[in-house]
Amino acid sequence: MEIVELCSKFAINRYNEDNDQKGLRAKQGGDQPPETLQAVVFVGVNETGMEFKSCWIKPKNYEMTEMTKEERMRYGKEKEKTGGFDIGNHEMTEAERLRFEKEKEKEKTEQRKNTMGLGINGYTSPAARRITGGYDLPEGIDIRGRYDEEFAKILTKDALLFVAELQREFRNHIKYAMECRKEAKMRYNRGGLPGFDPATRYVREGEWTCAAVPPAVADRRVEITGPVERKMIINALNSGAKVFMADFEDALSPSWENLMRGQVNLKDAVDGTISFHDQARNRVYKLNDQTAKLFVRPRGWHLPEAHIFIDGEPATGCLVDFGLYFYHNYAAFRRTQGGALSFGREARIWNNVFEKAERMAGIERGSIRATVLIETLPAVFQMDEILYELRDHSVGLNCGRWDYIFSYVKTFQAHPDRLLPDRVQVGMSQHFMRSYSDLLIRTCHRRGVHAMGGMAAQIPIRDDPGANEAAMELVKKDKLREVRAGHDGTWSAHPGLIPLIMEVFNNNMGNSPHQIHTMKREDASTITEEDLLQIPRGVRTMEGLRLNTRVGIQYLAAWLTSTGSVPLYNLMEDAATAEISRVQNWQWLKYGVELDGDGFGVTVNLDLFGRVVEEEMARIEKEVGKEKFKKGMYKEASKIFTRQCTTPTLDDFLTLDAYNHIVIHRPKGSSRL
């Protein structure tokens, strides 16, 4: 810890929470005010013969002794340093403090002079590099995931330093944004409603536009989304869609293997060298000459990366996803797909991340372009603010409608008068959903960027022509509504839908790549807060409760075994639809909903829900087969899903709880599992 943080509130709080992480024997001194703290300078020699110096904050009344040999070895394994320490235990004088700061600044300056890789400044290769049979780690970074030679090509020292630079600069901004989310949640739980912010009226009413959309991404009429699996990437890029959005969030189970192999796959895709040998079919998959544009969606701000620690705390998942992808591919990098944002301040953080990354890479400002998913209820009131903060980097907004429905329930979890009907009834024909879509189109086109439509989650039904025809008719109707409303493009979860969707957009857009200048939707200027918050109509049925339970458990079972995009009942389910299932069950249980339709008059309570879980588990076992059920994670998934649905306080995200079940840390001091 640098001496400049000695008297900062952050440094003192961190010290008081964790006062003895250096392996030294010391007596607990309790919480300490600034005037009782002093600095200890450590001088030592590592096994390469290099001298090093570090500083530690401690209370003046701590009794310290030199480490024993055993303690030194343990500390050395943990920090990848060995040998004895000549410990100076004294309070720094002003001259010593200034000299220490000067030496640290000189060290940083020297590091910036040494450049590695593709011309990114600030990432140095010290003369004494240590590779201990595992990852080559910079100081302050610890990798707790399995070692793999392919992963090591991604987790290079310079790439990790790049991610660490982003993490160190923005982590406190991210933490503050997450605290603001919590404060907003408390307001809503006390009866408040989200709405337009009077303080930013000047942004909404101002006459400004975003930077012009680059010609390379002007035509986005059909985009396909999916996980970063190797075969999926190849098929999606070859699908005929205009864009493939590789999804690190909703479509991916964030295991160490999935995340790192995903980065390897994307790098190979950008390089044009990606291929996949399907041994079962004896078929080799390669890229066509003409492929879709590649967009990448990182995880949300709230998701940690528990396999990478920076300065003793888990890295922020989205900065790991963005940082590693950008570092290795920025020479061809011109676009990204932003995660979900709730407020303009969160867009400002992303804008600052983009600008810093561009400066560090030495590329033109505005090279990075982002589309933000409007998939939280508070964000619909901040669309102008989000675009304004990202005006030099934005290429549009997207209707993330499944997460938007999830957010509606979560926002109004303490409002028993705002209960949703069965999730299959909450479509774009509902007034609050149609208002959300129309306002997004008007906002985007007014600011000169794309307004993207929602996901078509249907899957072709190859063994039932009648059912398949009905499903395709639903897709056609939905996409026709979108293009006529003014959307410039839309999403598909399956390559089999792309020809149908492309035909709908081509027939209604002609040769124009978008509708930004032709569909202004001035009629949407009259949309009010009441329109966006109108309570949806419909019935709540026993089948709705059962479907939520069946889908939620099966999706979670797949997620726990590293699959994040799951075909269920002729729909492609991802984390967003699983979240709807969870929060709706919780809401109905919380307020003892009386069912309609096939469950007319039945009250949803813990006894009923327990029976439903038991019966749906039996149905799942019958559908998937006893052998698959036995080998799968269905029982564990059932426990997690049941706990999430019955907890007194609604957890913010299902995946945060489940994430603890897929994190695998390597043993301390070992490079491989």
DSSP 8-state symbol, 534: P
CA-nearest of 169, 543, 429, 142 to 314 is 142
Adjacent-strand bridge partners of 314: 309
The residue type found at 203 is V
Q: Determine the angle formed by the axes of helices 575-590 and 606-624, rounding to 10 degrees.
A: 150
Helix (H) or strand (E) holding 249: none
Q: Which residues of 405-419 are buried (b: 16+ CB within 10 A; e: fewer)?
A: bbbbbbbbbebeebb
Residue 316 — φ and ψ, nearest 5°?
-80, 125
Sign of CA pseudo-dihedral 201, 207, 208, 214? positive
CA-nearest of 266, 143, 121 to 663 is 143
Rounded to an integer, what distance in angstroms lies between the CA atom of residue 382 and that of residue 176? Answer: 18
Rounded to an integer, what distance in angstroms lies between the CA atom of residue 338 and that of residue 333? Answer: 14
Q: Are 161 and 138 in contact (CB under 8 A)?
A: yes
Which pair of structure tokens corresponds to residue 530? 């009441």
Sheet holding 293-297, edge to edge: 293-297, 243-247, 222-226, 489-492, 450-456, 394-399, 370-374, 336-340
Question: What's the chain's length in residues?
Answer: 673
Rounded to an integer, what distance in angstroms lies between the CA atom of residue 133 and that of residue 131? Answer: 6
220 is catalytic: no
Q: Are 651 and 242 in contact (CB under 8 A)?
A: no
- Options 297, 391, 423, 540, the catalytic residue: 297
SS3 label, residue 70: helix
SS (H, E, C) 293-341: EEEEECCCCCCEEEEEEECCEEEEHHHHHHHHHHHHHHHHCCCEEEEEC
Rounded to an integer, what distance in angstroms lies between the CA atom of residue 296 and that of residue 328? Answer: 13
- Options 250, 422, 438, 574, the catalytic residue: 574
Residue 97 — φ and ψ, nearest 5°?
-60, -45
- Compute the chain's Rg from CA coordinates: 27
Rounded to an integer, what distance in angstroms lies between the CA atom of residue 418 and that of residue 547? Answer: 21
Distances in Å between the Cα of 556 and the Cα atoms of 91, 136, 305, 579, 653 are 54, 35, 19, 10, 12
Q: Find all residues with CB under 8 Å of 604, minimum gap 6, and list them.
A: 545, 588, 589, 592, 593, 594, 595
Rounded to an integer, what distance in angstroms lies between the CA atom of residue 226 and that of residue 237? Answer: 11
Rounded to an integer, what distance in angstroms lies between the CA atom of residue 237 and that of residue 422? Answer: 35
297 is catalytic: yes
CA-based diameter of the chain, in Å?
84
Residues noted as catalytic: 297, 574
